[in-house]
Amino acid sequence: MHESTHHHAETFKSKVEEAIGVTVSHCYQCGKCTAGCPLNEEMDIMPNQLLRILQAEMPGYEEKILSSLSIWLCLACDTCYSRCPQEVLLSKVMDYLRQESLRQNKVNPKAKDILSFHKAFLNSVKMNGKLHEVGLTIDYKLRSLNLMQDVMLAPSMAAKGKLAIFPHQVQNTKEIAKIFKKITDSEGGKQ
Amino acid sequence: MARIGVFICHCGENISATVDVAKVAEKAGKLSGVAFSVDYKYMCSDPGQTLIIEAIKEHKLTGIVVAACSPRMHEGTFRKAAEKAGINPYFCEMANIREHVSWVHPKSDATTQKALDIVRTMVAKVKKNAALFPIKVPVTKTALVIGGGIAGIQAALDIANAGHQVIMVEKKPSIGGHMSQLSETFPTLDCSQCIMTPRMVEVAQHPNITLHTYAEVESVSGFVGNFDVKIKMKAKSVDYKKCTGCGACWQKCPSKKIPDEFNEGMGFRTAIYSPFPQAVPNKPVIDRPNCTYFTKGGKCGLCKKVCPADAINYDAVDEFIDVKVGAIITATGFDLKHADFFPEYGYGKFKDVIDGMQFERLASASGPTAGEIRRPSDGKVPEKIVFVACAGSRDKAKGIEYCSKICCMYTAKHAMLYKHKNHEGKAYVFYMDIRAAGKDYDEFVRRAIEEDEVQYIRGRVSRIYEKNGKLIVKGVDTLMNGEPVDIEADMVVLATAVVANIEAESLAQKLHISYNKHKFFAEAHPKLKPVETNTAGIMLAGACQSAKDIPESVSQASASASKAIGLFSSNELTREPIVAVVNRQAPPNFTSCTGCLLCQEVCPYHAIETEDIKDRGGNLIKRAARVNAGLCQGCGTCVAMCRNKSIDLQGFSNDQMLSEVMALLNA
Amino acid sequence: MRIGYYPGCSLEGSSKEYNDSLFAVAEKCGVTLEVIKDWSCCGASAAHNLNHDLALALPARTLALAEKQGLEDIVVPCAACYSRIAGTKNEISNNIAVKAKIEGYIDLKLTADVKILTVFEFLQKYIFPTVDQHIVNKLNQKAACYYGCLYTRPKEIAAVEQIENPMEMDEVMAKAGATPIDWAFKTECCGAGLSVSRTDIVAKLSGKIIEDAADRGAESIVVACPMCHMNLDMRRPEIKKQLKKDINIPVLFITQALGLSMGIPADKLGLNKHYVPTDKVVNCIVKMEA
Amino acid sequence: MDFEPKIVAFVCNWCTYAGADLAGTSRTKYATNVSIIRFPCTGRIDFMLLMKAFENGADGIIVSGCHPNDCHYTSGNFHARRRWIVFRSLLDFMGFDTDRITFSWVSAAEGTKWAGLVDETTEKIREKGPFTEFKKLDYSILEKIENDVVTE
Ligand SMILES: Cc1cc2nc3c(=O)[nH]c(=O)nc-3n(C[C@H](O)[C@H](O)[C@H](O)COP(=O)(O)OP(=O)(O)OC[C@H]3O[C@@H](n4cnc5c(N)ncnc54)[C@H](O)[C@@H]3O)c2cc1C
Ligand SMILES: Cc1cc2nc3c(=O)[nH]c(=O)nc-3n(C[C@H](O)[C@H](O)[C@H](O)COP(=O)(O)OP(=O)(O)OC[C@H]3O[C@@H](n4cnc5c(N)ncnc54)[C@H](O)[C@@H]3O)c2cc1C
Ligand code: SF4
Ligand code: SF4
Ligand code: SF4
Ligand code: SF4
Ligand code: SF4
Ligand code: SF4
Ligand code: SF4
Ligand code: SF4
């Protein structure tokens, strides 16, 4: 028996599909994901429409998606996936698009703070192996320049004994740094 | 000693232009067992056939090979000729040297050689042929109709009107099925009861129809024309010969709080009941698990006291009757997907989230609200009502990928009925696609949108929750850039998926018919045999095969009735003898069959039975396979399965096939 | 059975009371928890936002350490950590290639067969068998159990049976003598990872949750996640601005609630550390008759 | 002279045989190397017959029937396929060149496909040359093993 194999030209869509094992055409655009998404009111492109844009592959679609704010707002709450009739793992698509947006330097300006927070968070983990909330706060403030924002309610938290001024560390912080380095290296130094 | 005749046809020049027919005839004449060989211009012409007949007689031929066109073209012609000449028609084989040789190859030695190879192959086969005789089976001209919905009713009436006997088996106390529950029907909005009731009465009164309600098929054996069916008559506790249907019993019965199935749980009935006022027969049964007499050890007994006809019989037991029928029509209909299936829609949790059938009852003049659309929780007339299409259908995640086909239409109908009764009210329909592909169907949906101002919103609802007496419906409008749409509704109607009857699988196993993964019965061919099943003599009607509306159910019912009537048009059935047989040997072995029954597992037609082989003293010697020739269709799958070659296919036997292979390869 | 414990970063910092109350309850029932030695951060939302491999490698390291330590069950009290660790376990066990890659990054071998328990699973499995003898108080109040998204989704790793209407925490609260209420926002998202960077969104989402609980007469909201707690408790000023009304329902960790019913003093359970005062809860405790 | 392979085609009556008829009525030309043996259904094809064909000098074999859901007998072709999968792995295991057997689906409407199948198979087998290795194989163990194969 001979079974033919199909070959497609590599496109941004096929890259997304391959990277995360989701088939974009499974989505039949019912919109149930969007209807239940807690962030729908804040998003610039609705979740179902992100998929539609990927499906249609009209000129410039990659840019449009990678520079959208929605991909940064998505909380990976999986409300969409848990109700999607076609079992499209939208949060995974969002994950991938975010990472790609970062790699390609297309992050929506409005997502700057969100990105700063994630970076500061990881930085704290990289240095201590654990999150140090005070350190994170300082780092985030520097990155986002939101100096006035009372991000972690530090004063009241400290008063309630909830903030550790010095970080807890894993015994071997080098080990964690090594994991970060290996992963960064394997991706050609980009992060 | 075989004496084979070989007849090479020129087909005008169709064959002779590329194949050296004279040479083929000459060489064929030299093959072992060949007593006569000749070529001729048109074998199928009258002179050609005469030539064959004469040759058979003259040369005392025991078999013939006609090397000509495809057997699919003229095998019948030449078999008849052989028969005329006095030999069994199955001693005739064709060698296809036209479609498979002369038309596809250029004139060459290789082409002539291939023609000769094929002739040699068929000569080898025919030498192994055996006389076969058409199988004749008698036909019992009575049909069994299982299920008394609109499909079963239509089929029964058609067959009965053609003059044949019909036995109808309905598991509920009344016939009528889902259609008797409907309010008005699309696309004309005529009253369902008005068109249904006369047909139900006709069934009850038809001299050719025997109706068994509150009954089920227990077992089926036999084959086309000759089925033996055991029917279980569940104990009704009421003697229908005496009962007049006066109703005194159910008016007095004190067990009044039993959810009423006919009204989809939106009302109550008594323990002794007739399901609805127009029921046929309009006589009651006692629902024993809910009757005080049966649950409390003989207490109550009121119905017996009040019955003027002394019809109540608490001691009645389930009874079984055996009937013989020639054809079976399965019309057991469908179910709707029920609670627990839509946790995100709160179905089963919020009283005012209902399904389509419940809406039918609310809209029905004979329903619990006398046709006024009021919500179940507090009886208020809803000001805003939301219909959710595709609730569970086309939903891979919920295991139902298919479209339920009828719900687009009944949802439009529901929205319309609501608007007709509540002009000020607002009706919304959340939908994905509108599937209204019947005669006057799309026009019907357009009317709902254009004239009755039903709001159609393209998008699926994510969630429904209750807040301050309202149902919050979280939807989306995908035609407006995916804008979220939240509606505060008073009532929500889910067009829940049409699913197979809950007992479909067990019935299919009793009948030996196939079903698909969703348990809908399978037709023999999706296009060309859409009402027949794989088992000859068993037909399908209505929604038991797939979701269907009334016009489709009725058409299919009439089609299956015509198949039954066709079957009954002669006294016996003739079938080709190309069937499997289990070999027979002399005692003490009787047969080489070991009774492993591998063949039984693979037979697509359930044609293989077991046979107990006994000695003269009646002691069991062995259990072996036996082919029911009435069921066998001659595919031969069993033959390839049998490890010790104990089962063989007449016309394509192991011996014949092996001879063909050897002859083809050994010039 | 040796029960492992993965506190996660928050329980060492901003949600110390969750940690303390969990230990207090366990101790009362004679159950010991072994902290996974040298555990590190799971990466939470940040890692999977920025780098998929990192999002797997960090939890995988912890899993590997737990295995090395010979633990079979591990309790993960934070929903985010639970989601990351259970998700990683799921992905690693279903994909050998991914497993090999991640093992390479962390320089450790994995079988990924430790069982990961949420706090309510832990309570049901290890505390319930003996808890009745320790329960001395009845939490005489209506409690809204809030599960959020990370325990209920995606379905492959959900820690609850019915993802649209989970009941596991409700069962724990019923044990504690409270009346769990049926409400609409049990599993809606609180905004989780956007707490710091988009407080406005968190206030909006968390506001809806608190409002629904209040509308249905809840006297407390019970959570099993430090992030949910932070959003529902500490973000109350922003929520107040958003809702334009002040809702004072306290937010308790489930271990604190159960601890109260077991007669553990409020300060030992860290109830004083909350932003919204918890006296209302403490005050409605009824002593059970002996 | 070039090597001309002998190929036997085991086909079902309803689909592939009719497809080959259609190639004829459409006068589609193809190689003369393939001769057909007609079976009611691919389900009827006993794989020992294939072995017999090789034993008697066939260089290649085609097995062809109805497409998966089109079987005249609903499921005969599925059984054939299931048996074939097990059987092929067995042949592979024995070092048998399973490429000499082509399994295909040709419907009654696919005359052109049939012609193409014949030409491709002929070409393939021509390249492979005469099937002399078969004689070296002790295929008799197959006969024994086949009993177990069918029970799979
Ligand atoms: C909400 C709703 C609204 C609809 N509105 C319309 C409409 O407006 N217009 C329209 O054309 N169609 C409509 N339909 C479709 C219509 O109901 C069906 O087409 C029709 O009922 C199918 O008839 P049936 O006889 O095949 O099945 P059914 O009506 O289901 O009848 C099957 C019968 O078989 C009996 N039975 C089942 N199993 C057994 C067994 N094992 N032994 C014996 N008896 C058995 C059942 O008790 C029942 O009496 C609607 C359907 C729904 C759900
Ligand atoms: C592009 C296209 C693709 C399709 N694909 C599919 C498909 O994939 N699957 C599917 O199931 N269906 C398909 N169909 C539908 C299918 O063709 C029809 O369902 C089917 O042909 C209907 O058959 P019929 O016999 O009713 O009508 P027709 O096929 O139209 O036959 C009517 C016959 O009556 C003759 N006739 C007409 N008037 C007279 C007269 N006055 N006197 C005597 N004879 C007369 C005509 O010459 C003709 O032979 C397709 C249709 C189209 C247009
Ligand atoms: S719910 Fe699923 S199918 Fe529907 S639009 Fe969203 S991703 Fe597509
Ligand atoms: S996972 Fe993202 S897109 Fe999906 S519902 Fe949650 S926030 Fe919306
Ligand atoms: S028998 Fe067939 S081949 Fe011969 S003349 Fe008739 S049609 Fe042509
Ligand atoms: S009271 Fe007697 S006669 Fe009247 S309906 Fe009941 S059983 Fe029949
Ligand atoms: S005996 Fe049963 S059915 Fe009759 S009246 Fe009493 S409860 Fe009703
Ligand atoms: S008929 Fe309409 S509502 Fe019903 S499943 Fe099909 S598309 Fe959905
Ligand atoms: S005929 Fe063959 S396969 Fe069937 S039971 Fe007998 S031995 Fe087994
Ligand atoms: S030939 Fe086919 S239909 Fe007949 S018994 Fe064998 S497997 Fe069944």
Residue D82: give its domain's CATH number. 3.40.50
Architecture in CATH for domain B4-126: 3-Layer(aba) Sandwich (3.40)
Which residue's alpha carbon is at the smallest distance from atom 4 of ligand 4?
A80
Cβ D29–B104 below 8 Å, yes or no? Answer: yes
Could you tell me which residues are beta bridge partners of residue C36? none
Phi, psi torsion values for A169, nearest 5 degrees: -130, 150
pLDDT at residue B63, rounded to an integer: 96
Question: From the CB of residue B497, how many other CB atoms can be counted at a distance below 10 Å?
Answer: 26
Residues of chain B contacting C212 with CB distance shorter than 8 Å: 467
The C-alpha angle with vertex B106 and arms to B100 and B110, in degrees rounded to 5, equals 75
pLDDT at residue A4, rounded to an integer: 42
Q: In whole angstroms, what is the distance from residue B29 CA to residue B38 CA?
A: 8
Return the best residue to mutate from B10, B24, B70, B73 for the ligand 5 pocket (most ligand atoms within 8 A of CB).
B73
Pick the ligand that lies closest to the CA of residue B264.
Answer: 1
| pLDDT range class, residue C48, cuts 50, 70, 90 | confident
Residue C213's closest chain B neighbor by CA?
B467
Q: Which residues contact A15 (CB under 8 A, 6 or more apart)?
A: none
Closest CA to B259 of B268, B248, B272: B268
pLDDT, tens digit, for every residue of D38-54? 999 888 888 888 888 99
Which residue's alpha carbon is at the smallest distance from atom 4 of ligand 10?
B632
Decide: A and C in contact? Rule: 3+ Cβ pairs under 8 Å.
yes
Residues of chain A contacting D104 with CB distance shorter than 8 Å: 1-2
C44 and C148 together in one domain? no
pLDDT at residue D151, rounded to an integer: 44
Neighbours of chain B (3+ CB pairs under 8 A): A, C, D
pLDDT at residue A148, rounded to an integer: 52
Read off the pLDDT of each residue in D121-144 and give the average, rounded to a whole number: 76
Q: Which of A19-33, B554-568, C45-59 has the lowest mean pLDDT?
A: C45-59
Read off the pLDDT of each residue in A130-141 and give the average, rounded to a whole number: 68
Interface of C to B at Cβ within 8 Å reads 162-165, 184, 212, 215
pLDDT, tens digit, for every residue of B201-235? 999 999 999 999 999 999 998 888 999 999 999 99
What is the nearest CA distance from D24 to chain A, expressed in angstroms? 24
Closest CA to B193 of B285, B277, B281, B270: B277
Residue A135, pLDDT > 70, answer no
* Residue C121 and residue C197 in contact, taking contact as beta carbons nearer than 8 Å: no
Residues of chain B contacting A49 with CB distance shorter than 8 Å: 481-482
B143 SS3 class: strand
Pick the ligand that lies closest to the CA of residue B525.
Answer: 2
Q: Looking at the partner chain, which of B459, B463, B481 has a beta carbon nearest the beta carbon of A30?
A: B459
The domain spanning residue C10 has which CATH number? Answer: 1.20.1050.140
| pLDDT range class, residue A11, cuts 50, 70, 90 | very high
Which residue's alpha carbon is at the smallest distance from atom 8 of ligand 3?
A27
pLDDT, tens digit, for every residue of A85-124? 999 999 999 999 999 999 999 999 999 888 888 887 887 7
Residue C118, pLDDT > 70, answer yes
Cβ A46–B482 below 8 Å, yes or no? Answer: yes
C70 and C194 together in one domain? no
Query: Does C129 reside within a domain?
Result: no
Q: Which residues contact C234 (CB under 8 A, 6 or more apart)?
A: A153, A156, A157, C275
Q: In whole angstroms, what is the distance from residue B590 CA to residue C48 CA?
A: 73
* Residue B436 and residue B412 in contact, taking contact as beta carbons nearer than 8 Å: yes
Query: Does C122 reside within a domain?
Result: no
Query: Does A151 reside within a domain?
Result: yes
Top residue of D11, D41, D67 to mutate, by most chain B CBs within 10 Å, is D41
pLDDT, tens digit, for every residue of B256-289? 999 999 999 999 999 999 999 999 999 999 999 9
pLDDT at residue A157, rounded to an integer: 60
Query: Does C126 reside within a domain?
Result: no
* Residue D96 and residue D137 in contact, taking contact as beta carbons nearer than 8 Å: yes
Query: Does D1 reside within a domain?
Result: no
Domain that holds residue D137: 7-151
CA B663 – ligand 9 centroid, Å: 28
Residue A48's closest chain B neighbor by CA?
B482
pLDDT at residue D142, rounded to an integer: 57
* Residue D124 and residue D99 in contact, taking contact as beta carbons nearer than 8 Å: yes
Q: Is A32 within 8 Å of chain B by CB?
A: yes
* Residue C73 and residue C115 in contact, taking contact as beta carbons nearer than 8 Å: yes
Q: In whole angstroms, what is the distance from residue D88 CA to residue D90 CA?
A: 5
CA B284 – ligand 6 centroid, Å: 7
B142-234+318-333+501-567 has which CATH code? 3.50.50.60
State how many domains chain C has: 2
Domain that holds residue A21: 3-184
State the residue for tokens 């998966």. D68
Concatenated DSSP letters for C1-14? -PEEE---HHHHTT
Read off the pLDDT of each residue in B363-367 and give the average, rounded to a whole number: 94
Closest CA to A124 of A112, A142, A97: A142
pLDDT at residue B631, rounded to an integer: 86
Four-residue CA torsion sign, B257, B258, B263, B266: positive
C260 and C139 together in one domain? yes
CA distances from D75 to B422, B426, B605, D65, D81 (A): 54, 52, 10, 11, 10
Residue B327, pLDDT > 70, answer yes
Q: In whole angstroms, what is the distance from residue B249 CA to residue B227 CA?
A: 39
CA B335 – ligand 1 centroid, Å: 8
Phi, psi torsion values for B471, nearest 5 degrees: -100, 120
C81 and C213 together in one domain? no
Read off the pLDDT of each residue in A8-36 and give the average, rounded to a whole number: 93
The stretches of B379-440 forming alpha helices (DSSP H) are: 407-421
pLDDT, tens digit, for every residue of B231-241? 999 999 999 99
Residues of chain B contacting D36 with CB distance shorter than 8 Å: 96, 100
What is the nearest CA distance from B101 to chain D, expressed in angstroms? 8
Cβ A182–C275 below 8 Å, yes or no? Answer: no
Cβ A191–C50 below 8 Å, yes or no? Answer: yes
C157 and C238 together in one domain? yes
Cβ B484–A35 below 8 Å, yes or no? Answer: yes
Which atom number of ligand 1 is nearest to the Cα of residue B184? Answer: 8
Q: Which residues contact B111 (CB under 8 A, 6 or more apart)?
A: B18, B19, B101, B102, B105, D32
Query: Does A74 reside within a domain?
Result: yes
CA B647 – ligand 9 centroid, Å: 6
State the residue for tokens 């008394």. B148
pLDDT at residue C194, rounded to an integer: 84
State how many domains chain A has: 1
CATH superfamily name and code, B335-499: FAD/NAD(P)-binding domain (3.50.50.60)
Regarding the beta carbon of B302 and ligand 7, being less than 6 Å apart is answered: yes
CA dihedral B326, B329, B330, B331 (to 10 degrees): -150
Read off the pLDDT of each residue in B497-503 and give the average, rounded to a whole number: 96
Domain end position, chosen among C90, C117, C144: C117
Cβ A30–B463 below 8 Å, yes or no? Answer: no
Residue A142, pLDDT > 70, answer no
State how many domains chain D has: 1
Q: Is A67 within 8 Å of chain B by CB?
A: no
Domain end position, chosen among C60, C90, C117: C117
Cβ B343–C164 below 8 Å, yes or no? Answer: yes
Residues with Cβ within 6 A of ligand 10? B 579-580, 603, 605, 607-608, 627, 632-638, 649
pLDDT at residue C144, rounded to an integer: 97
User: Strands B215-223 and B209-212: what pairing?
Assistant: unpaired
Residue B127, pLDDT > 60, answer yes
Q: Looking at the partner chain, which of C162, C163, C184 has a beta carbon nearest the beta carbon of B465?
A: C184
Regarding the beta carbon of B647 and ligand 9, being less than 6 Å apart is answered: yes
Cβ C164–B468 below 8 Å, yes or no? Answer: no
Cβ C184–B344 below 8 Å, yes or no? Answer: no
Residues of chain A contacting B462 with CB distance shorter than 8 Å: 32-36, 79, 83
Question: From the CB of residue B666, how many other CB atoms can be counted at a distance below 10 Å?
Answer: 10
Residue C72, pLDDT > 80, answer yes
Interface of D to A at Cβ within 8 Å reads 102-104
CA B241 – ligand 7 centroid, Å: 20
The domain spanning residue C254 has which CATH number? Answer: 3.40.50.11810
pLDDT at residue D136, rounded to an integer: 60
Residues with Cβ within 6 A of ligand 8? B 389-390, 393-394, 403-405, 407-408, 433, 435, 495
Read off the pLDDT of each residue in B466-489 and give the average, rounded to a whole number: 96
Report chain A's mean pLDDT, rounded to a whole number: 82
Residues of chain B contacting D44 with CB distance shorter than 8 Å: 635-637, 639-640, 649, 652
What is the nearest CA distance from C217 to chain B, expressed in angstroms? 12
Spans of all domains in chain B: 4-126, 142-234+318-333+501-567, 248-306, 335-499, 580-650
Phi, psi torsion values for D58, nearest 5 degrees: -70, 145
Q: Which of A60-74, A96-110, A162-176, C227-241 has the lowest mean pLDDT?
A: A162-176
Read off the pLDDT of each residue in D108-136 and give the average, rounded to a whole number: 89
Regarding the beta carbon of B246 and ligand 6, being less than 6 Å apart is answered: yes
Percent of chain B surpassing pLDDT 90: 86
Which residue's alpha carbon is at the smallest distance from atom 3 of ligand 7?
B272
pLDDT at residue A114, rounded to an integer: 87
Q: Is C198 left (phi over 0), alpha (psi -120 to 50) or beta?
A: beta
Listed by number, the residues of chain A in 69-108 with a beta carbon closer than 8 Å to a beta carbon of chain B are 79, 83-87
* Residue C54 and residue C21 in contact, taking contact as beta carbons nearer than 8 Å: no
Domain that holds residue C194: 134-287
Please give the structure tokens belonging to residue B56: 């058979």
Query: Does D129 reside within a domain?
Result: yes
Task: List % helix, strand, coil for chain C (3-state, nearest 5).
Answer: 50, 10, 40
Query: Does C73 reside within a domain?
Result: yes
What is the nearest CA distance from C64 to chain A, expressed in angstroms? 14
Q: In whole angstroms, what is the distance from residue B567 CA to residue B326 CA?
A: 8
Q: Is C108 within 8 Å of chain A by CB?
A: no
Residue C257, pLDDT > 80, answer yes
pLDDT at residue B441, rounded to an integer: 98
Report chain B's mean pLDDT, rounded to a whole number: 95
Phi, psi torsion values for D138, nearest 5 degrees: -90, 80
Question: From the CB of residue A2, how many other CB atoms can be counted at a distance below 10 Å?
Answer: 8
Query: Does C127 reside within a domain?
Result: no
Query: Does A110 reside within a domain?
Result: yes
Return the best residue to mutate from B69, B92, B101, B118 for the ligand 5 pocket (most ligand atoms within 8 A of CB).
B69
Q: In whole angstroms, what is the distance from residue B579 CA to residue B629 CA?
A: 6
What is the nearest CA distance from C26 to chain A, expressed in angstroms? 22
Q: In whole angstroms, what is the distance from residue C26 CA to residue C175 CA?
A: 16
B258 SS3 class: strand
